[in-house]
């Protein structure tokens, strides 16, 4: 970043506030902690280097657009790598982390924490089972609070696609988690 200290400070605060949620989104997409960290770090660097001169109110949708592009790039590279791994019969163990390792902010009662942990385990599993586009739209809309237009921009798709993916994700999650109501 080549900008004044105030802009640099604002960018640092923005990135610090968004990194944990961005990591979880990338981790769902990659299924691997280290790969997710790399994807998020790359997205943060691109935002800081190329878009710090934009208004701070533009950073969030820009960041998620960059993040989605980096995730797609990672998926393309994985597709090529997997072809070679299959061809040469390479097997690598995945280092899969789940949301449970990120404790809730509330210290609550043990029974509430247990219920929360059980819910998060189920939610993590069900989110992981969603098709990629539904999963990412759900995370951007519900967890990140992006509106339909911002999500469409980040996902590089139409607003109607965002609405469809979001509705389908909600329907599947409600159906899969209805026993927890």
Q: Which of 178, 80, 71 is nearest to 123 (CA)?
A: 178
Q: Which of 171, 145, 172, 150 is nearest to 162 (CA)?
A: 150
Task: Measure the CA–CA gap between 84 and 76, rounded to whole angstroms.
Answer: 13
Distances (CA, A) of 77 to 30, 35, 99, 106: 11, 12, 25, 39
Which segments of the chain are extended strands (E)?
Answer: none
Q: Which of 115, 140, 135, 109 is nearest to 124 (CA)?
A: 135
What is the per-residue pLDDT across 73-113, written as a single tens digit (0 to 9) for each? 898 888 766 654 554 343 344 444 444 444 444 445 676 77
Mean per-residue pLDDT, 26-48 = 94
pLDDT given at position 3: 63
Domains and CATH numbers, the chain: 1-90 (no CATH), 105-181 (1.10.10.10)
Q: Which of 34, 36, 43, 49 is nearest to 64 (CA)?
A: 43
Per the prediction, the chain carries an average pLDDT of: 82
Mean per-residue pLDDT, 17-32 = 92
């Amino acid at each position: 970043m080549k900008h004044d200290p105030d802009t640099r400070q604002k960018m640092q605060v923005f990135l610090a506030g968004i990194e944990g949620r961005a990591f979880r989104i990338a981790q769902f997409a990659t299924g691997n902690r280290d790969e997710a960290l790399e994807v998020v770090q790359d997205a943060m660097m691109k935002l800081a280097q190329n878009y710090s001169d934009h208004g701070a109110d533009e950073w969030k949708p820009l960041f998620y657009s960059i993040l989605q592009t980096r995730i797609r790039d990672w998926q393309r590279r994985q597709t090529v790598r997997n072809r070679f791994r299959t061809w040469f019969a390479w097997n690598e163990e995945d280092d899969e982390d789940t949301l449970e390792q990120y404790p809730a902010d509330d210290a609550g009662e043990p029974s509430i924490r247990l219920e929360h942990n059980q819910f998060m385990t189920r939610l993590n599993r069900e989110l992981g089972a969603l098709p990629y586009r539904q999963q990412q739209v759900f995370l951007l809309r519900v967890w990140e609070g992006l509106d339909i237009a911002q999500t469409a921009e980040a996902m590089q798709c139409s607003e109607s696609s965002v609405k469809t993916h979001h509705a389908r994700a909600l329907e599947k999650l409600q159906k899969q988690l209805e026993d927890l109501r």
